Chains A and B, each alone.
Chain A
Amino acid sequence: MNEAILMSASADKIDFMIHGLYKLNVFGQEVWITTSHVCIAIVMMVLVIFAIVANRKLAKATEVPDTFQNLLELVVELLDGIVESNMGSHAKVFANYICTIFAFILFSNISGLFGLRPPTADYGTTFALGIITFVLIHVTKWKNQSFKTIWTDMCSPLPPWFPLWLPINLISEIAVPISLSLRLFANVLSGTVMMALVYGLLAKIAYAWPAVLHIYFDLFSGAIQTYVFCMLTMTYITQSYGDAE
């Protein structure tokens, strides 16, 4: 397989689709290893190597931090501050998870800058993230609220003995992971498609100035969407604690 297939912006043709690389056979089902898998593996590798290097560094942390240690402390304090200001007393439980998905989504979104097809422009990736959020919301909810509270909440505008609004509330619960994942997916996909169109249709004059578009679509939009995804996840989880405490 040639490596050029990984590129989101090849100059000779418009190409932003996901391509299958290898076909596996699992219990009689066709399963494809696609470019998304490869790009996720690359992103994960970068993150894991960064984590190992950072861990080595912090194991022999000094009283007066040097540049790299300073940077690490800055990043961790920033992320912890975001989680702390949104989740209050529950921040300790979820800080690790939120910071992990923050790093993963951010690196996935800006991987378009390095010529990869962003893994978050694949609905499979974002839907998996949405499902994780959904499960977290409901585990937290059933752990911290009684059945009666949840039932009353589900029949919300009407009294609990008259569950006419129950189906509508159930649908709005199911809509949470779908809208979360579609928002991230569509934002990153639109950036990918537009960059592919610029490079494909204006290939003759696409020198230097597409960098401006890269800054907007990959860096700005990617960072905003990462922030929004983490923010909404935190908001939903905090809500699901109820007002018992």
Chain B
Amino acid sequence: MGITGQDLILACSAIGAGLAVIAGIGPGIGQGIAAGYGASAVGRNPGAQGKIMSTMLLGQAVAETTGLYGLLVAMLLLFVKPLVG
């Protein structure tokens, strides 16, 4: 039952990947806020729905980027395995 160094690195990489996707919390909150304000803006001015919609989607997509960086780090740790020798 010997645990080699490589096994340890792989296990820790998996834990690190799990920690990295916690980055998804931030964009979730940010997109929720953007959608909430978008909904209230449409409620106040239903005529401008198209414009509000496109602005909201653009803002949400930009906010999403940080979460995607977390996802990329997790994927690199799991599939590219940069820490294994």
Contacts and interface: CB of A to CB of B under 8 A. Distances in A.
Contacts of B69: 182, 186
A183 B54 CA distance: 17
Interface of B: 54, 57-58, 61-62, 64-65, 68-69, 71-72, 75, 79
B interface: dominant SS: helix
A228 B65 contact: no
Given A179-B65, A182-B65, A183-B65, A190 B71 contact: yes
The 8 closest A-B pairs by CB, nearest first: A186-B68, A228-B61, A183-B65, A186-B72, A231-B58, A190-B71, A186-B71, A179-B65
A5 interface: no
A228 B75 contact: no
Contacts of A227: 54, 57
B57 A187 contact: no
Given A189-B75, A193-B75, A228 B57 contact: yes
Interface in A228-245: 228, 231-232
A interface: dominant SS: helix
A224 interface: yes
13 contacts: A17-B79, A179-B65, A183-B61, A183-B62, A183-B64, A183-B65, A186-B68, A186-B72, A190-B71, A224-B61, A227-B54, A228-B58, A232-B62
B9 to A, nearest CB: 21
Contact of A183 (B57, B68, B75, B79): B68
Nearest to B55: A231
A17 to B, nearest CB: 8
Interface in A179-217: 179, 182-183, 186-187, 189-190, 193
B71 A225 contact: no
Contacts of B61: 183, 224-225, 228
A231 B54 CA distance: 9
Given A187-B64, A225-B61, A227-B54, 10 more contacts: A179-B65, A182-B72, A183-B61, A183-B68, A186-B69, A186-B72, A189-B75, A228-B61, A228-B62, A232-B62
